[in-house]
């Protein structure tokens, strides 16, 4: 960081790192609140007598709401930056949590999920842009540092659900709206920094939008990256949405013990995400994508046939390896399409995550008709689509 800003005053260096900490912290808060939705599926299933298709619909409502809006938000903010859109998005999540804790029907759960999804749609593109602005040129580190906050939040959500919401009841979900209020305060400060940063760099030339490769090849490469991300997210959705049910059915665990298994997986995802960025800065994003997408294949194929001990081990290994790809994919895409940070963030945080929601709904139908074990046998073959990484080009360095 210091080297990247050696010609800048010390105050700017400190402010830059503090902004990375702020957006990562808010990403953690944002994803704690979002992960509560999936963590409480056993409670909702019992309280509202839901089947697995309805569980999948809840996931789809959240993720598709976010996925449809995120690229649009990214396109708009690439053209017209909106620094204070960040606390507005957190306010939507605040409303969604209040409704989630007091919903009287399945339909109200869907509305709550859509409000949380809208908050995600606004938060991710702009906060990803802020992380890149504060990176000092270490784009992989900045994206992984930003993303690991979200993964930490996803890992903490099941713990909070297991030890607070499940013992106390659904109404306690509304208490977490206080987290959203804290996020709104921090993101308002980030918005102030964003405005000051834009003024400080107003005299500099805009980033060139010239494509490093032929347009047709850029489009083809983006499609491959979206496919890889969507494949990863469908697989991750199969674990985040149904892993607790799988552990309860196959190993006869209590709900709390199954939630702890989910925490192990999500914790390994957070570690893998953080490691992927710096490794990508050192060896290149393309190398990390190759290692992560292809390296997970044998472990994913073994998971459905493992006993309880090896299920825990394999889920941790899968989380570590698979998660390391995401920051590298985002950085690779940003280099492929320069000057469109919001659009790229919207596509990969939004559209590809929405594919995970659609996959979760389809997997829910399979779980109802063929059993939860069959779902994990199907999903074990999904990482084989990672063989498309052989088609990724090298981006010329200027």
> Is 95 within a domain?
yes
> Is 396 within a domain?
no
Segment 79-104, tens digit of pLDDT: 887 888 899 999 999 999 899 888 88
Q: Burial code of 270-292, b = ≥16 C-beta within 10 A, e = fewer?
A: bbbbbbbbbbbbeebbbebbbbb
> Is 398 within a domain?
no
> Is 40 within a domain?
yes
pLDDT under 50: residue ranges of the chain: 1-15
Long-range contacts: 105-112, Cβ < 8 Å, 24+? 105/48, 106/48, 106/50, 106/54, 109/44, 109/48, 109/58, 110/57, 110/58, 110/61
* Size of the chain, expressed as the number of residues it contains: 398
> Is 265 within a domain?
yes
The whole-chain average pLDDT of the chain stands at 82
CATH number at residue 309: 1.20.1250.20
> Is 4 within a domain?
no
Query: Could you give the CA distance from residue 258 to residue 250 in angstroms, rounded to a whole number?
Result: 11
Domain count along the chain: 1
The domain in which residue 33 lies consists of: 11-391
pLDDT given at position 313: 94
pLDDT given at position 300: 92
> Is 6 within a domain?
no
pTM above 0.75, yes or no: no
340 DSSP 8-state letter: -
Q: Give Cβ neighbours of residue 65 (< 8 Å, ≥ 6 apart).
A: 113, 114, 117, 118, 120, 121
pLDDT given at position 54: 87
pLDDT given at position 13: 44
Q: Report the candidate in 114, 126, 142 with the shortest Cα–Cα distance to residue 88.
A: 126
pLDDT given at position 214: 87
> Is 397 within a domain?
no
Segment 169-220, tens digit of pLDDT: 777 888 888 888 999 999 999 989 988 888 876 666 556 677 888 888 999 9
How many Cα atoms are found within 13 Å in the side-chain-facing hemisphere of 297? 13
Segment 48-78, tens digit of pLDDT: 888 888 888 887 888 778 777 888 888 888 8
pLDDT given at position 266: 79
């Amino acid at each position: 960081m210091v080297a990247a800003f050696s010609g800048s005053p010390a105050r700017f260096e400190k402010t830059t790192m503090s902004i990375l900490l702020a957006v990562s912290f808010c990403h953690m808060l944002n994803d704690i609140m979002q992960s509560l939705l999936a963590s409480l599926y056993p409670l909702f299933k019992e309280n509202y007598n839901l089947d697995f298709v309805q569980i999948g619909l809840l996931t789809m409502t959240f993720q598709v709401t976010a996925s449809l809006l995120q690229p649009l938000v990214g396109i708009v903010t690439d053209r017209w930056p909106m620094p204070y859109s960040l606390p507005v998005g957190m306010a939507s999540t605040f409303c969604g949590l209040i409704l989630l804790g007091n919903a009287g029907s399945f339909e109200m759960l869907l509305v709550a999920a859509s409000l949380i999804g809208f908050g995600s749609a606004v938060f991710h593109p702009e906060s990803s842009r802020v992380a890149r602005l504060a990176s000092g040129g270490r784009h992989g580190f900045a994206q992984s540092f930003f993303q690991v906050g979200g993964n930490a939040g996803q890992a903490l959500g099941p713990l909070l659900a297991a030890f607070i919401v499940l013992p106390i009841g659904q109404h306690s979900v509304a208490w977490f709206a206080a987290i959203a209020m804290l996020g709104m305060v921090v993101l308002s400060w980030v918005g102030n920094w964003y405005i000051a940063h834009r003024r400080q760099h107003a005299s500099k030339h805009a980033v060139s939008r010239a494509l490093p490769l032929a347009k047709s090849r850029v489009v083809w490469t983006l499609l491959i990256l979206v496919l890889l991300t969507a494949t990863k997210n469908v697989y991750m959705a199969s674990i985040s949405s149904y892993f607790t049910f799988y552990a309860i059915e196959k190993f006869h665990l209590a709900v709390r013990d199954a939630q702890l298994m989910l925490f192990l997986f999500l914790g390994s995802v957070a570690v893998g995400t953080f490691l992927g960025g710096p490794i990508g800065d050192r060896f290149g994003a393309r190398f990390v994508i190759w290692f992560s997408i292809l390296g997970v294949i044998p472990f994913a194929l073994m998971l459905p046939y493992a006993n309880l001990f090896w299920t825990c081990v394999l889920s941790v290994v899968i989380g570590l390896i698979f998660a390391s790809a995401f920051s590298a994919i985002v950085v690779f895409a940003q280099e492929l399409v320069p000057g469109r940070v919001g659009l790229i963030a919207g596509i990969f945080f939004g559209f590809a995550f929405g594919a995970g929601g659609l996959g979760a709904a389809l997997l829910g139908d399979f779980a109802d008709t063929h059993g939860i074990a069959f779902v994990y046998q199907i999903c074990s073959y999904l990482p084989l689509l990672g063989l498309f990484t052989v088609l990724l080009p090298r981006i010329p360095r200027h």
